[in-house]
């Protein structure tokens, strides 16, 4: 296991450095595709080993079933984003949006981003986890600013400023948590997650509650929870589409993972009531704030970004309910949302490249121009809105079951009403974009094989995930939920 983790960390760095010294675009693209496939394979091997040994722990590294859930997300999205990048970047260079000399930088940053996300998930020290989360900010900010125009630079600056303030608050919360550890006499194992979990019952509740507030605001900012979400629509809309898929599907999930790791320790000290109340409140607020922006949106990528705010709210509510079924559903929703939203961002990349705009009003008649893309786009939109029998319906249905089985009838009804509003808004735009007459000058378009493979693979997972959940995956989710609730 130790060797597998080291390979997963080292491989993206090696591929990234190799990319920087290459100039042949074909060599760069296929080298990175092979590297991402190897990295994803290693991550899947780590997940498999975790199912055999339950957990792996050293002084600096820690992997368990909760880690495995997020490693699966990173493994899937790293591969599909790199595969989609082949044709996407080729067309960006061909049309003059990106200079050929910048392509090595793009793939190198993509590998650095992957390294940072894997680091967040495999470290066993909360201080190092904070460093890794900050590393994801630095790597992804350069990708957000990749086009280096006014809008991209403004979005990257906003992203860095807001997330840096948030991550500084998370650092303060981590320092306060360490202070409570020192008071409890555990300074010998500074911020070790396993040790803090063991002594969580002896930590000072007042100090730990204060730490939780700062940690929640800090990592909640990076996870895109309202009202700290304001960086997210700009960053997602300005980044290259493969990066938008990674940001929405993987980065937000990794930030939430860091929050959950801290939450497990904190609930051992102060109990669940305060934590669950705050999480449910933030989750509902995230969905509420997302709805009006979804209903009056003009930019297709910003529409998908606000949808991510909504889904992070759904996940937060699941952890706020706190039952085994609710946490199981929230973890499943993390996987389902990552797959569906990344596919939609890839599709948005294909559509916006062909239509030369991100404005929804100017994107009409996709079915006439790109029938295959239109079909995949409709499936993706139906999935992200929770339509049966697609994957997100399954996790939403389980979450609704957990809410009503906890006798929270008013909460369940209110959330279903909010989700209906999001469904109406997103489907309205989907119908307008897909059907009707295409603008003049837009002819029939054939999607490239690499892009079709990346998107088609994700769509197959969307459909299969709604119809069948493998027993091995269910077991991983069950064990991960036990870790979160303290079982």
The pLDDT value given to residue 236? 87
Which whole-number Å values give the CA distances from 378 to 81, 96, 109, 348, 428, in the listed order? 20, 30, 31, 12, 11
Scored b (16 or more CB within 10 A) or e, 196-210 reads beebbeebbeebbbb
DSSP class of residue 249 equals I
The pLDDT value given to residue 487? 61
DSSP per-residue string spanning 14-68: HHHHHHHT---HHHHHHHHHHHHHHHHHHHHHHHHHHHHHS-EE-SSBEE-HHHH
Q: Which residues touch 444 (CB under 8 Å, ≥6 apart)?
A: 369, 370
Domain count, the chain: 1
**What percent of the chain lies above the pLDDT cut of 70?**
99
Task: For 322-353, write each residue's pLDDT tens digit.
Answer: 899 999 999 999 999 999 999 999 999 999 98
Q: Are 395 and 475 in contact (CB under 8 A)?
A: no
Provide the domain limits for residue 446: 2-485
Q: Are 79 and 455 in contact (CB under 8 A)?
A: no
Task: For 148-169, write each residue's pLDDT tens digit.
Answer: 889 889 999 999 999 999 999 9
Q: Are 298 and 359 in contact (CB under 8 A)?
A: yes
Q: Are 343 and 458 in contact (CB under 8 A)?
A: yes
Task: For 404-423, write each residue's pLDDT tens digit.
Answer: 998 888 888 999 998 888 88
The pLDDT value given to residue 83? 95
Interaxial angle between packed helices 25-53 and 103-122, expressed in degrees from 0 to 180 and rounded to the nearest 10: 10
Task: For 426-458, write each residue's pLDDT tens digit.
Answer: 898 898 888 877 777 777 777 889 999 999 999
Task: For 450-464, write each residue's pLDDT tens digit.
Answer: 999 999 999 999 999
CA 258, CA 126: separation in Å to the nearest integer? Answer: 8
Q: Are 302 and 236 in contact (CB under 8 A)?
A: yes
User: Bridge partners of 359?
Assistant: 299
Report which secondary-structure segment, H or E, holds 291: helix 273-295
Q: Which residues touch 359 (CB under 8 Å, ≥6 apart)?
A: 298, 299, 300
Q: Are 371 and 349 in contact (CB under 8 A)?
A: no
Q: Are 254 and 136 in contact (CB under 8 A)?
A: yes
Tell me which of 177 and 59 has the higher pLDDT: 177
Q: What is the CA radius of gyration of the chain?
A: 21
CA 245, CA 345: separation in Å to the nearest integer? Answer: 5
pTM metric for this prediction = 0.95
């Amino acid at each position: 296991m130790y060797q597998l983790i080291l390979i997963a960390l080292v491989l993206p760095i090696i591929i990234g450095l190799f990319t920087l010294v290459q100039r042949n675009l074909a060599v760069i693209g296929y080298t990175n595709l092979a590297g991402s496939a190897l990295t994803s394979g290693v991550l899947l091997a780590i997940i498999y080993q975790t199912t055999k040994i339950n957990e792996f722990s050293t002084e600096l590294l820690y992997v368990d079933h909760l880690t495995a859930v997020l490693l699966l997300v990173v493994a899937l999205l790293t591969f599909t984003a790199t595969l989609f990048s082949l044709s996407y970047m080729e067309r960006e260079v061909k049309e003059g949006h990106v200079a050929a000399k910048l392509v090595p930088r793009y793939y190198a940053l993509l590998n650095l981003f992957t390294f940072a996300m894997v680091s967040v998930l495999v470290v066993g020290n909360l201080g190092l986890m904070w460093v890794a989360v900050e590393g994801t900010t630095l790597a992804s900010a350069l990708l957000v600013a990749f086009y280096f125009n006014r809008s991209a630079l403004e979005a990257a600056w906003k992203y860095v400023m807001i997330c840096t303030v948030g991550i500084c608050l998370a650092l303060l919360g981590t320092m306060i948590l360490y202070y409570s550890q020192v008071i409890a006499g555990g300074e010998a194992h500074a911020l070790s997650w396993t040790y803090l979990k063991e002594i969580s019952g002896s930590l000072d509740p007042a100090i730990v509650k204060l730490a939780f507030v700062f940690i929640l605001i800090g990592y909640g900012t990076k996870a895109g929870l309202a009202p700290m979400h304001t960086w997210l629509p700009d960053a997602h809309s300005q980044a290259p589409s493969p990066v938008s898929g990674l940001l929405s599907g993987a980065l937000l999930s990794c930030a939430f993972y860091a929050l959950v790791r801290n939450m497990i320790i904190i609930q051992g000290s102060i109990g669940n009531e305060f934590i669950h109340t705050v999480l449910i409140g933030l989750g509902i607020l995230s969905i509420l704030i997302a709805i009006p922006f979804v209903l009056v949106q003009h930019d297709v990528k910003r529409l998908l970004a606000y949808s991510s705010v909504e889904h992070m709210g759904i996940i937060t509510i699941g952890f706020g309910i706190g039952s085994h079924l609710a946490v199981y559903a929230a973890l499943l929703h993390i996987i389902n949302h990552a797959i569906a939203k990344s596919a939609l961002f890839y599709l948005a990349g294909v559509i916006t490249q062909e239509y030369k705009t991100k404005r929804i009003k100017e994107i009409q008649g996709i079915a006439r121009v790109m029938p295959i893309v239109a079909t995949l786009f409709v499936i993706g939109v139906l999935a992200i809105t929770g339509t049966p029998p697609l994957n997100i319906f399954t996790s939403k249905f389980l979450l609704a079951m957990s809410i009503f089985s906890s006798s929270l009838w008013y909460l369940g009804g209110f959330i279903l009403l909010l989700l209906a509003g999001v469904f109406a808004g997103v489907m309205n735009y989907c119908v307008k974009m897909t059907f009707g007459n295409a603008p003049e000058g837009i002819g029939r378009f054939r999607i490239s094989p690499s892009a079709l493979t990346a998107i088609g693979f994700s769509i197959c997972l969307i459909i299969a995930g709604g119809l069948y959940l493998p027993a091995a995956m269910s077991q991983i989710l069950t064990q991960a939920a036990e870790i979160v609730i303290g079982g």
